[in-house]
Structure formats: structure tokens, C-alpha cells
Chain A
């Protein structure tokens, strides 16, 4: 068995989610190859070659792959993937965008967001907003799988010394083009990889009040997240949303501030090790999953908390 892992990157830096995906590949067993498709991404290929347990890195460097357009990358992955038993990618917006196209090109189904590997063909994945865990067995010739990063501890980023092999194949479907992108700039840790996450909800009342959370987060070295209510109300941008339709996080500590705890929000954070809820409504459902609950006005509690930590 040989497993192909699609590297998640921005042409400059290898994203940490790749390490969790390699960890899932290691659980399946067999040689692990990593594909770095991009443009001018040699630093990423070198970083991928250093990942512990990676046997080979395939580097497809071409202008057509610069922006991870699925119309161009999927045919490449499908072509390379025919010789593999499994094709894995992180369940990031890129992975979820590209991999179903690969599966369709190979005429196999895809298994989405696995959280555990039972055997080489059997996997566990959450369904119904995390309210049920399904065990599925795939009979596909090539198993195409996206991996939920929080389900697997990352492998070491250093320690490997895989050979880098250039892949010449260039696919340019010519039916889509990249126009531009706007990425939020933040000095805080990335939400899905942070050890501590502080999230605000509708109870924050406005975007300006999020400054209290930022101050607390900076003191804790934490990332800042939000509920859908806070995003929809325009308090913060939508890439901060934690939940079924936003990001899935599982930090050591999750502090939910002014968040009621709807099913859809819990789907994104209930695997956190320790959950703290700060809410003035003692009936809020968030208290049912919180390890430590504090019924208090957040505008008094948060500044005090910031002083004490």
C-alpha cells in the first residue's frame, strides 16, 4: 500500500494541517508520498520532505497550479493517484474543494472528514452536526479521503529526509481563473491549530467589544473565534466562525463568551479538552458541555479574567 497525501500550502509555507493528514496516513499504514502542487513552491516541497515518515515528495510546479484551482489540480491528482491505495487531503477549504473532483474523475466515492482510522478500508466520521459517529467501510479501488485535523495528532515536522521528485504533468483546463483574494491578517495563532481559543457570540453586542477578547487572547497566546451569530451580525469576519459550517477546533482550552451553544456551534468545538462558558443566562445550553461555567456579565468578567491570568 502506498498513500498519496496532498500538501496544504500557500506556495510559501506548508500548512500544519498537512502534518495531521500524514498522521492519518501513518495510521492506515504503508509508504506515504506527499504531493506539492503549486507555483514556486520549492520551500514547501523541502518542508514536506522533512516531515517524519514521508517516503517521497512529488513536486508539480506549474503556473496552472498557482492558486489551487480544482479544475487544474484535480486531473493531476487523479492521474498520479491511480497508482495509490489511498489519496488523502486535509478537510480544509482547499481539500474539500479539490478532492471530490478527484474522486469523480477516478469513479469512486469520497469519504469526508474522517476522525479515526479503524483499518485500511474502515473509517469513522461524524454526521448530523457531530450528533452521531458513523463507521463506514469503503470498497473503492482507490480510497479518496479528507481528514479532519482535530482527529489526529500531528506527526513531527522534522526528522524525515524524503527525496523530492519533479512531476512534469501540466493540466490547464482553461475553464476557470483566479481573480484575487483578500486574506485576513492576524498576528494571533491560527484558529484551527491554536492551543487556546477564546470565542465571542451575540452577547458581545458589537464588533468594538471584541477588543476585550483580543486583549484576553493576547495575554493567553490564544486565537479568537466567533459564533455564527457574531459573524452574521457583522461583529467579525466569517473566517473566524467556529461551528458546523465554519472551522472545527479542538484546543486544550476553549473559552466561550456570550455564546448560547446552539447545536451548530457545538459541532465545531465540543472535542476541546477543557471548555469554559461565560454567560449571564444560566439556562444557556453551552453550560451543558462546559467543564467550568461562570454565570456573569461578560463585560465585568472578561477584564477581570484578563488581569488574573
Chain B
């Protein structure tokens, strides 16, 4: 009898498989400390060194490969150009605009502070 029951599986608990959550590139991900824009702000000025005049193509390649690897870490599945498009679109939201202004304000204060110290 038990075997029969088992075959039908009536007593077994029904497990509902959760749908796999698709990783989405949204504001939250874009603002993440470890992979998002904060990382870019922290590291890019230090890591990227340019050669300037006469090395334009090399500089461009360096800049692009840095951003490409950053974008790859941020959002693995999309191609570089697609990721850039998504990010650009996110930049129009109210929250992102505020964040962007804040970042600029911060560095503005920093530079003005620097000059004041110099004075």
C-alpha cells in the first residue's frame, strides 16, 4: 500500500520551484559600492594614466578597455554597447540626476577647498 501511495506522490510535500531571478541593471545595481559607479569614482582617476599628445589612439583604447571591464563586472550578460545604453537611460531618472549633481558638488567643494588652502 505504501508503495502505491508513494507512486502517486500524494503525501509528498509540493515544492514550488522559485523562478530564477534575472539580474537586472537598475539604479540599485548601478549605485552599488563594490561594482557600481562608486567603484568607478574611486578607482578610475588612480588607475588610468594617459600619455596625451601623439598617443591618442592608445589613450582611447586604454580608456575604453577600462570602461569595458568595469561594465563587464557590473552587468555580465550584456555587451558593452548595450550596457552603456542602459546606463545612459538610467541617468535620466530623478534619483540618478541628484546623485550626479552631488558627486559634482563634492569635487567642487574639494577643489575650492584646495584653492583656499593654497591661499
A and B held together in a complex: no
